[in-house]
Chain A
Amino acid sequence: MKPAPFEYATPTTLDEAIALLATPGARVIAGGQSLLQDLRWRRTSASVLVDLARIDELRGVHDDGARVRIGARVRHVDLERGAVGGPLGRLLAATAGWIAHPPVRSRGTMVGSLCFAHPSSEWCGLAAGLDAAVELVSVRGRREVPVAEFLRDSFATTAAADELATAVLVPTLPDGTRVGVVESRRTHASYAHVAAVAARVPDGGSRLGLAGAAPTGTRAHAAEAALARGEDPGAAAAEHDADPREHPHASIPYTRHVAGVLVRRALQEAA
């Protein structure tokens, strides 16, 4: 199918971009890996597509010691190839490697994934699990929203239509943190069913993120707590953290079960 008509703009500065986004019906295009499908299916439309491809301010990653700032133009493949160092970088690289296949990874962006808010998005699960935040900029100003608040529902965020997500800010993981990411997925040409991301921080407990187990990526608080009490984190994840929706190939009980299994396995991988 073909999209309905739209204008196309390639601003070179952030100011220009947010000015364009103030136009009613304007939309950001980052990697286009999800947006183009929605436009073609006419699920969404745009008066003007604001392409981020030429805005240098949105490039690259920056580590300030406490948090790593990942710009809106950073693609899955950049993270897969080690754009970020340390244990967090290893977790990002391992996670990116699971996403779809190379052509998608060479265009899709991490920030775009958060904005698209697919329930099975690995980045949504990871960002929720690590308590990351999204930086939003519009002509009205700049704000930072924790991911747990940003991801409102499947395919829905709390960003306003005129806001540009400039970066995701992910807390760094201390040296010695061990990481793991596991998935259940049927092919590499589509999304995972469920993904679990684990970071075991030395003397600091564990961080667990889940994707595909609930309408949005989530931090597995119950599993983390169970682990701290020496109980089975898998059972806790299945019962409390998972909140799945029915899927033609995965019932609610099955998805709960898978979330539990994967939480255990992600922790094992991070052991």
Chain B
Amino acid sequence: MEGLGQTLVCTGCSLLCDDIEYEMEDGVVSKLYHICMHGYDKVMFAFSPQRLKAPLLSSNGSFREVSLDEAISKAAEVLKSSKKPLLYGWSCATNEAIDLGLEIAKKLGGIFDGTMWICHGYSIYLAKKLGMGLPKLEEVLNNADHVVFWGANPGDNHLRHMSRYAVFPRGERVPRGIETRMLSAVDIRMTSTVKVAMNKLLINPGGDAELLSALISELEGKPIQREEVAGIPLKTFLEFVDVLKQRPYTAIFYGLGLTHSGKGKENVELFYRLVQLLNQNGKSCIAMPMAGHYNMVGAVIKSLDAGGGPFAIDFGEGGEVARRGESALDALLSWEYDSALIVGSDPLSSLPSEIAQRIRSIPTIVLDYRLSLTAKHADIVIPVAVPGVESGGHATRMDEEVVTLSPIGGLVGRFPSDEEVLDKLLKQL
């Protein structure tokens, strides 16, 4: 059997689990070990009848199959004749592909944007501005004796987060794992994560800011005088305060429930204020966003490096950054772009219909391995490899650890990677 005893890196989410063992039979993956359900679906999509196989060119409302070279040169024509192309996606692309995307944007004076704004672009940006570093997940594993999930539900989304790193493993300072690690969860509903937590903090919808302010006030030595906080009974609230004060190392993982509810930005700012306060009180407290797509963090960091903002970077004439977005939604609605290159993303099904309409009305090029809604309406569709399975490169894990993908030998080369396609495209511009 080929490939026996090797491991691959799962690109199902930004945990990038690197311990996936597999077995092959007749050139097809027959067994995957330790991978969760989401990762399994992603790897096996490479062998699904629905996977895109040939490059497609739309003509008169239907697609015809073309060669890769033809698709790329047509794509280059579209981009060259465009005044301002939109380069969109990136959280499901390798670091190498993102670099090339930025280069194309600079060269053509285009807009570089993507799903970073829907996810944790702003929170990562703010954490960096405040100088808050991220610890490695291994450090959390070894040291955190109190783990909090705040508006994040790994029980549905990052399925192995608790078993691989944050909660169940036995660490140096938490040798008995869950017996010595306190687990808390803040959410507006009884999620699967809240279910297994010891401290269950069920707040009113939009109550994050109220809870954060109350915690800050307690830690500043100003006890609150209320019967309940954001829907949590005072007793439960005070117990949580005690745990925060007593446990030497608290790791808080936060999700879209915190950053995208109520006044999202204010929540994130209060949240980091709490983290800073705990650190000033002699505790170790770290905070990490639960980035979704496998290279969300890579896309945010590279955008920050290139344009100073986490998304919506407008490269003006000569590649200078003309504007950077505060709200990518506004940018996508109002900015002038007249063509789009979309990499591993499906804006037509995820963005508001006004934006979807705009994208549909301009020439679009899509790089993907599935025929997404966006691909169905594109002018040029280029099938790419399933990253981590059929192609390599690097991706940045949720804790900013750069991980080298280790695709399956026998499958590499079946399809070009997003990096290879972008590289060929760039050369023709």
Asked whether A and B interact, the reply is no
- A contact set with B: CB distance below 8 Å: none
